[in-house]
Amino acid sequence: METARQYLTQLIIDVVSWSEQDMGPADGAESRREHAIAFVRNALLPGATASIRKIARNVALPISHEVADGRSSPNARRDQILVDTVELVCKRHNLQPTRRSGRAESGCSIVATALPKFFTWLRMYSDEQLRKLAELREPPESLEEIRKFVTELRKLPKKLFPEGALSEQRIENIWIARTRS
């Protein structure tokens, strides 16, 4: 579950605006790329924490190199992150993506269990850490901008999952649909 929860942090990079133009959610490939590039730029500033640099290297940098794919579904990027998470969990822990029997764990079952835990972690992510993250932007933002940032981050679960955390079956359906697109 920790593998899945760590990979799910990509949802933060994709949805919360990192640009200096106060852009909205990253619903397109170009917008996502701009947010990721801005995040990487901020991670290179003096005073950036090791954890911010790690997120920039492992999450934002790969996004900044993505090619626009013309997806039109508002959930396409969210679903791709879920598919990538299932795949990563399966590879790292030698699991099948879907259950073969009623008892065997699978990549989809792990991600379905990790998703609500990710939401809990996100809610508990300290305001102090978020303030530090917001201050890394050049120029440092006002307290009002920091509050806006924190508010947007806290809305993330409702934006991406308005119906709540997805069930194992819904994640399996997303997994199966990945090959059709």
Per the CB < 8 A criterion, the answer to whether 32 and 66 are in contact is yes
pLDDT score of 22: 41
pLDDT value for 137: 61
pLDDT value of position 7: 80
Q: What integer pLDDT is reported at residue 113 of this predicted model?
A: 95
Q: What is the pLDDT of residue 17?
A: 38
Residues of the chain with pLDDT under 50: 15-26, 71-72
What torsion, rounded to 10 degrees, do the Cα atoms 120, 92, 29, 63 define?
Answer: 90
pLDDT reported for residue 87: 94
Count CA atoms within 13 Å of residue 33 on its CB side.
9
pTM over 0.85: no
